[in-house]
Structure 1
């Protein structure tokens, strides 16, 4: 890579990393991040919702930088920086110029999910990194590298799979890439690709073994979504429109042009060869489209294949460096940069609500102060423990460190195999959002339920979350083992 492009790439990575580190240190944790932080206190080979990698990352980050939002997010931010470098490296391996590799790195970070979401400590963070690392290694093989790189590719793919199960789609995608060319088919006749499968399988077997000894918790949770229960094609339209926006509309248009051009000139020499990133992404993309025919696809799910779209956008500009494409790229980069910096600054500085009805920052606002009020209410009520109906609220309260009594999740007790025993036979204080919790719900779970007031979290100038408080006594048998009856559990996702 030429010095100019190399310097530009490193300056890009350094600048973005500094911005993300500042944002990570100033923006409070989201509910899911606080939840994964609790995982990191007890390391395992698997958890209720996901494979274990994000817990390991958070544990390392908090060891290095303290039990703070920055510590929780440290490894995901470094992972985002490495992924940017890997995206540029893959572009070069696929035949792009140094300039185009830099464009791919810029386009990748101009995507709204990546630009602003690159600080978040979720399972997507390690999955994105190891997916990109797998493709980068395969790009080296495709460019004539040693076949021993297949061992490293298998290791990276295995690490991706114990980050998030969506990485399992890498295997059929890579197989499509291999069978799509004579050279790839020849490689399938050697032991190297199959050795990579064995290495990846050995890594994934660690999580498989954990599930086998824990009632297949994660498999039941995640793969239970696959079975269609209804036909709702409107979700497909929602997926396409949402991802068009989150890709950055300008980058999405360029990516579409690059993909179409790659399809039209398939097999022809010249330009960046997009077959590896696009075919590797194809099975997962098709699954998401099928899933969207019966259920909603969450906005962050496709993030692992965003690098493929960045490469396609860069290829589109490289193929026609004059006309509307470079202008669209410039507009997209400005739009993505402004959106990313604005979103991170607004969240980091805890900016005001948009209006009286909408406050996008409400989920992360005021948890330390709120936890202090909960603790005061607990002491006043003479309660020996605090119960909640939603895992996110419990995790946020725990992250503040201000509750001086055991916290108890009243449902889905399988989420908390390492929870310390709580004296639930003694009086407790139960709270959650008003739409999740009612007197009637708790009466199915406790013999005595007494209203104990209400707390409010949020800014008085906009929408707030209201939390009714209840003093409870006399739990149902085996509360800590089985949780509350179904009526309370039905409200957990609301």
Structure 2
């Protein structure tokens, strides 16, 4: 399965967000507007070994999957001492599309997951040994998880329950070790705090506005979230894991067993939070990715605990049967998806295909290269971060690429090559209808339409791009924060499209 993920990583076109994170790996800044720097460091690790290649960009995710599996296996081994449960702990993530294939797709979540699981593993070691120094390891891994993505904070309720619900609460509340662990986590997370203090707390404001903005109730977004979990965790595996987590929670809170409390709460609190948010907000496909590994561990442990607690033979056999079906059917589904993307010539999903929707950008890059030669343009302008990232990936330093708006995304970034931009003609590449942004009226740029380029994947038109020659203007790479060219698009999607249309 690891070899399969390596093939997938080396053959599938880079997605726009992956290219965006790759651009971060080329910068020397403490943090970024959208996310902490963990994903940039992960990509830099891979490209240091394999260069600026598809495998190089995605190698960190391949390693993260292996580390996650080993940690899950060791958690289950230490709790159950049962080899069958350990095998299930290794196979359950392989049976989920989220991990069995998509851990090869880089995202802040893939960088966070091994550190989040390592934090849980440290607390399991604490419970096993009673050695308070494991708190310090947990604090280190918690800080590294936060250094990868802010949503790691949603594991805090599980840690609090782990401390307060079992009978040992007085011991840990009076001990300095949990507080030292918290201090270590803050110190490790400090690059993000320093960057935000220097930039008006931009990351926290960016994420807070997205989280608390008023939106209308929507059954569609609820259905999308639930359907996405069935598809990415598994049509059989999701109910199996939820059943295992529910029994683990019941066992843990009834008997005050620390590990059961820790693992079940690490799943249930974030899951119900995302379910609640899905009432009004489209939950991103990777957002819940960090919570399910704890569920896999709880499910594998539950298979052993049922027999030890004297459950009926019928229930034990049924639970094992469904677990086997979940693993076999899940791995078969993951392998099927793999062959669909790397070998099949068809597009069965159409314009909404999650990989095809961002594939085939080399067609746009090739036409942009031709127009650079034909027009004498020396730099490329874009007006959305996705197009910017893909053009930087395909040109890889050969031509300066500048996103003229949302400059708040690029605070502290190195000079893209102002000598090649100032007083030189440029080439604008914009995805329709973004090329009609009213922001152009705030500039002195003269735009000459050149051509429209269609991005096609497996015979399906996915997007159309406008190419225009720009003269008479040099973009401001550091506009003031109150400038429309500085502000980022806080509310993406329908809000921005309606603004463009108006």
Q: Fold conserved (TM > 0.5)?
A: yes
- Number of residue equivalences: 479
Structure 1, residues 202-253: CA drift from partner, whole Å, max 9, x if none? 1112210111112222112222223241342523443233223322121111
Structure 1, residues 306-362: CA drift from partner, whole Å, max 9, x if none? 112212332444326744333322222222212222223333347432266565443
Matches within 5 A, 1:307-322: 307-318=293-304, 319=306, 322=316
> What is the aligned counterpart of 1:295 among 274, 281, 288?
281
C-alpha separation between the residues in 1 aligned to 2:211 and 2:351? 35
Structure 1, residues 92-134: CA drift from partner, whole Å, max 9, x if none? 2333622112212211221121112110121101211100000
Q: In the alignment, is residue 158 of structure 1 matched against residue 143 of structure 2?
A: yes
Q: Which residue of 2 aligns with 1:111?
A: 96
Of the structure 1 ranges 248-257 and 90-99, higher mean CA displacement relative to structure 2 is found in 90-99
C-alpha separation between the residues in 1 aligned to 2:223 and 2:462? 31
C-alpha separation between the residues in 1 aligned to 2:438 and 2:352? 30
Q: In the alignment, is residue 468 of structure 1 matched against residue 466 of structure 2?
A: yes
Matches within 5 A, 1:78-477: 78-95=63-80, 97-234=82-219, 235-266=221-252, 273-318=259-304, 319=306, 322-349=316-343, 351-354=345-348, 359-401=353-395, 404-416=398-410, 417-422=413-418, 423-438=421-436, 442-459=440-457, 461-475=459-473
C-alpha separation between the residues in 2 aligned to 1:301 and 1:79? 17
Secondary structure in structure 2 of the residue aligned to 1:143: helix
Of the structure 1 ranges 389-398 and 364-373, higher mean CA displacement relative to structure 2 is found in 364-373
Alpha-carbon shift at residue 447 of structure 1 (Å): 4.1
Two-structure CA RMSD over aligned residues (Å)? 2.9
Q: Does the 8 Å CA contact 2:162/2:261 hold for their aligned counterparts?
A: yes
The 3 A distance-change label for structure 1 pair 73 and 486 is closer
Alpha-carbon shift at residue 287 of structure 1 (Å): 3.2
C-alpha separation between the residues in 2 aligned to 1:174 and 1:271? 13
C-alpha separation between the residues in 2 aligned to 1:136 and 1:276? 10
> What is the aligned counterpart of 2:32 among 37, 40, 47?
47
Q: In the alignment, is residue 25 of structure 1 matched against residue 10 of structure 2?
A: yes
Q: Does the 8 Å CA contact 1:427/1:472 hold for their aligned counterparts?
A: yes
Q: Does the 8 Å CA contact 2:158/2:261 hold for their aligned counterparts?
A: no
Secondary structure in structure 1 of the residue aligned to 2:291: helix
Of the structure 1 ranges 456-465 and 383-392, higher mean CA displacement relative to structure 2 is found in 456-465
Q: Does the 8 Å CA contact 1:254/1:316 hold for their aligned counterparts?
A: no
Alpha-carbon shift at residue 296 of structure 1 (Å): 1.6
Secondary structure in structure 2 of the residue aligned to 1:43: coil
Secondary structure in structure 1 of the residue aligned to 2:367: helix
Q: In the alignment, is residue 60 of structure 1 matched against residue 45 of structure 2?
A: yes
C-alpha separation between the residues in 1 aligned to 2:462 and 2:3? 32
Of the structure 1 ranges 366-375 and 294-303, higher mean CA displacement relative to structure 2 is found in 366-375
The 3 A distance-change label for structure 1 pair 96 and 237 is farther
Q: Does the 8 Å CA contact 1:101/1:314 hold for their aligned counterparts?
A: yes
Q: Does the 8 Å CA contact 2:5/2:104 hold for their aligned counterparts?
A: yes
The 3 A distance-change label for structure 1 pair 290 and 271 is closer
Per the normalisation by structure 1, the TM-score is 0.88
Alpha-carbon shift at residue 390 of structure 1 (Å): 1.5
C-alpha separation between the residues in 1 aligned to 2:387 and 2:429? 9
C-alpha separation between the residues in 1 aligned to 2:359 and 2:212? 36
Q: Does the 8 Å CA contact 1:453/1:468 hold for their aligned counterparts?
A: yes
Of the structure 1 ranges 264-273 and 234-243, higher mean CA displacement relative to structure 2 is found in 264-273
Structure 1, residues 146-202: CA drift from partner, whole Å, max 9, x if none? 211111111000000111001122333201111111024422221111111111111
